[in-house]
Chain A
Amino acid sequence: MKLAATIVALALLIAAGVAFHSSIANEIPSSERRSGYTFMGPETRAMQDDDTTNPGMLGVLDGETLWNQKAGTANKSCADCHGEGKRDMKGVAARYPAFDKALARPVNLEQRINLCRARHQDADPFPYEKHDLLALTTFVAEQSRGMPIAPDPSPELEPFVAKGRDFFMHRQGQLNLACANCHDDNWDKHLAGSAVTQAMANGYPIYRLEWQSLGSLQRRLRNCITGMRTENYNFGAPELVELELYLMTRARGMPIETPAVRP
């Protein structure tokens, strides 16, 4: 009887231990959180650090021009409402994706720009991943460079963060992989020749050398999703925005590097 009780107690302990362990393994402790920058070689870091070698800065220049350009039938520029981009956009990107009351769901920075175009400028939306939207987003995000990521604290966002987290933790696709299998459990290893990294989204839009251009976080997410052999989502899909939202809460406090250079 005593032996049986001990076995039961032991089994419970082991079960508790396993549960405890798996919940720990799923999260990277804050002391171990690392920007993708720290996984790069010295040449790529140097390229990002110098504003005359960082090709993302070309997007920032174009974005600033767009910021001051009148658009749409309202004939208004971003600056007409928001003021000087370099002064008044500080810290804005650090809290995106943010909750939009009218849509009752989170929107990312690209979507916010297009909502502004629709609601205030009476202009056509910029197509996703084309230079104009990337440049304007990069310009706005660059104003938060060096500032810590500070996700929108609206309680309305909580269910969306939870959905994003689910997406990240859930095995899916033909390879039956979850984002977490690489980016939480194996970030210190390599996949082929490349560092796996921790999926800290603190430098978007990034200039990716492989792309030879600027690209959004959603472009990067779609790359990974294709790699997992899962059915992909369109740009702007709610699933991708929720995943973005979770990634930003995950990278909370990490300084923004936009426009980051990545291999």
Chain B
Amino acid sequence: MAAALINVPKKAKSGDVIEIKTLMSHIMETGYRHTTNGKVVPRDIITSFTCRFEGEEVFRADLFPATAANPFMSFFTVATKSGKFDFEWIGDNGFSETASARITVE
């Protein structure tokens, strides 16, 4: 399992705008590079990232070969109720990772 770092505030007030930060370990090989023998290094990237709150999609991004290794994603949402954020990264060669984090809204 690839390492991931998630930062979701543990607590927030209802209506607060909160920042969510995620970092996923991945080499993000572009598919445009060659070895010294001229062989193409095959593409190996994360193609999609999704964040759901209690099953409802709140953020999604498609990723492309120009993205740096270990993609960092930061986005904002409004805290409405306590619950669980689920994160999902999908990529080439069957790459599929998930993570989750809870928030308490007062």
Contact = CB atoms under 8 A, between A and B. Distances in A.
Interface of A: 50-53, 55, 57-58, 61-62, 209, 212-213
A213 B68 CA distance: 10
A53 B70 contact: no
B25 A58 contact: yes
Contact of B5 (A58, A209, A213): A58
B25 A53 contact: no
Q: Interface of chain A, helix or strand or loop or mixed?
A: loop
A61 B24 CA distance: 12
B66 interface: no
Given A212-B68, A212-B69, A213-B69, A52 B3 contact: no
Nearest to A55: B70
A113 B67 CA distance: 33
B21 interface: yes
A24 to B, nearest CB: 42
Contacts of B3: 58, 61-62
Interface of B: 3-7, 21-23, 25, 27-28, 68-70, 72
Contacts of A58: 3-5, 23, 25, 70
A212 B25 CA distance: 11
B69 A57 contact: no
Given A58-B23, A62-B25, A52 B5 contact: yes
Contacts of A57: 5, 23
B7 to A, nearest CB: 4
Given A58-B3, A58-B23, A212-B27, 15 more contacts: A50-B21, A51-B5, A52-B5, A52-B22, A53-B21, A53-B23, A55-B23, A55-B25, A55-B69, A55-B72, A61-B3, A61-B5, A62-B3, A212-B68, A212-B70
B21 A52 contact: yes
